Amino acid sequence: MSGRRAAWLVLTMALAAAAAPARAQDDGPPPDGTDAAVPAVVVTDLPCERRADALHTEAPRLVYDDRPDLLYELLLGLEDGCEIGEPAGRMRILASIWDGVFDEGEYGFEVIDWLAERWDPHRAPPAGSNAQLFDAFTVDFAAQLLPHQDEGSVAEFFCLFYGGQPEAAWPRLEHDELADSWLQYYYDEEIAYLENLDPPYLLTGYWGGWDPGGDLGRVGRCNLAGGMVEQWTGSWFFRLAIEVRAGRSASPYFVTEKGVDAFSDRWNALLLAGETGLGLWRRGRHHVEGFVGIGYDTVAPFKDADWALATWNLALGAGWRMELDRGGRIFSRLDGRCELIGDRNPGGTPLGGHAWSFRLGLGVRLGENPEPRLRALGRTEP
């Protein structure tokens, strides 16, 4: 046990003994020798799940009472055998700045996790909770400390960041003043790791509808089903899709091919397509994308034939994707396409034209997605 932790345990025992007679008093000032600013709980006696709440309530009180000494001891006690995480790290950094003793020994590489977590909307506490009040307190506390910090210093960065101005804080890490800081080193290492990750794959299964026009209008509407694999690089993506439009043609069509001259109403179309596009807009879990595609479109007019009627397929479309879990591993998507389809039946009934189609899908991401972490660290683009 470190000297400071041992001192904390001795202090809490003394405070507990001193607090007992004070509680016996109904009114009036505390008896001689009792400090009214001591923490109201002996935090080492609390289970770990309750210590964060003790931090939320006790730390602001000690700041208002101008007791940095007891605030340090409170933080030591809270973290004795328990992992409090970002709130305790935030408070320790601000306390050392307040007390004029800040140095980068207050943190290690875990500071990057603290920064990524602080303004994560998924971690926002319920309104009116002790955690939410603590967050509001630290914003005000950091804002009051900011004017007293040297420009370009690490302390100024933290006061900006915790004071509710992360968008103003991140550019400070590009200044020469912080080039030799541990904070800059940890940040650069994390960004380099994230930017060198292999892009994840997105697998999607989908179903939808296909509504043709032009000469293809004789086929009528069909259901479709398929799957796609997709990979993103920055704001751009490429995907491969395989899709079936199965059913019967609303009107039979005449086929002259491979020595066969006959009518058919069978419409088992298979599309193999490549699509590329980019993200157009995103907010939180929602993404809007635009894309173009080119494909190989085939129809097998006769069940036992070993050949098919084939042509090209060009598509222009847009889609919406929504992440269903916090990490974006599970998602849903909806997109629509306008297709231009070449004629595939020379000598027979014309089967070229255009079509409108929609796809509704559910997908999963394979591999680590660096994008949320990069956004949390002030990098809007991977």
Residue-level pLDDT at 29:
44
Residue 39: is its pLDDT beyond 80? no
Residue-level pLDDT at 95:
95
Residue 30: is its pLDDT beyond 70? no
Q: pLDDT tens digits for 121-135?
A: 888 899 989 999 999
Burial level of 93, CB count in 10 A (0-12/13-18/19+)?
A: buried
| Nearest-angstrom CA–CA distance, 122 and 366 | 22
223 strand-pairing partners: 209, 246
Q: pLDDT tens digits for 263-292?
A: 999 998 999 999 999 999 988 789 999 999
Q: pLDDT tens digits for 74-83?
A: 888 888 888 8
Residue 115: is its pLDDT beyond 90? yes
Tokens linked to 68:
């940095």
Residue 34: is its pLDDT beyond 50? no
Q: Dihedral sign, CA of 83, 88, 93, 95?
A: negative
What are the sequence ranges of the domains in the chain?
3-195, 201-366
Largest CA distance in the chain: 111
What share of the chain has pLDDT > 90, as a percent?
A: 61
> How is residue 277 annotated by DSSP?
E
Q: For residue 72, give the 3-state DSSP assignment.
A: helix
Per the rule left: phi > 0, alpha: psi between -120 and 50, beta: everything else, 152 is left
Backbone angles phi, psi at 327, to 5 degrees: -90, 0
| Nearest-angstrom CA–CA distance, 276 and 292 | 6
Q: pLDDT tens digits for 207-234?
A: 999 999 999 999 999 999 999 999 998 7
What share of the chain has pLDDT > 70, as a percent?
A: 88
Residue-level pLDDT at 65:
92
Q: pLDDT tens digits for 138-194?
A: 999 999 999 999 999 999 999 999 999 999 999 998 888 888 999 999 999 999 999
Spatial contact of 193 and 377, defined as CB atoms under 8 Å apart:
no
Residue-level pLDDT at 372:
82
Q: For residue 133, give the 3-state DSSP assignment.
A: helix
Class at the top of the CATH hierarchy for domain 201-366: mainly beta
Q: pLDDT tens digits for 352-373?
A: 999 999 999 999 999 888 888 8
Spatial contact of 17 and 38, defined as CB atoms under 8 Å apart:
no
261 strand-pairing partners: 256
Q: How many helices (H) and strands (E) does the chain have?
A: 10, 10
| Nearest-angstrom CA–CA distance, 67 and 71 | 6
Backbone angles phi, psi at 81, to 5 degrees: 85, 0
pLDDT-wise least confident of 27-31, 288-292, 304-308? 27-31
Tokens linked to 270:
């298979």
DSSP string for 6-29: HHHHHHHHHHHHHHHHHHT-SSSS
Whole-number mean pLDDT of the chain?
86
Residue 31: is its pLDDT beyond 80? no
pLDDT-wise least confident of 139-143, 301-305, 340-344? 301-305
Residue-level pLDDT at 360:
98
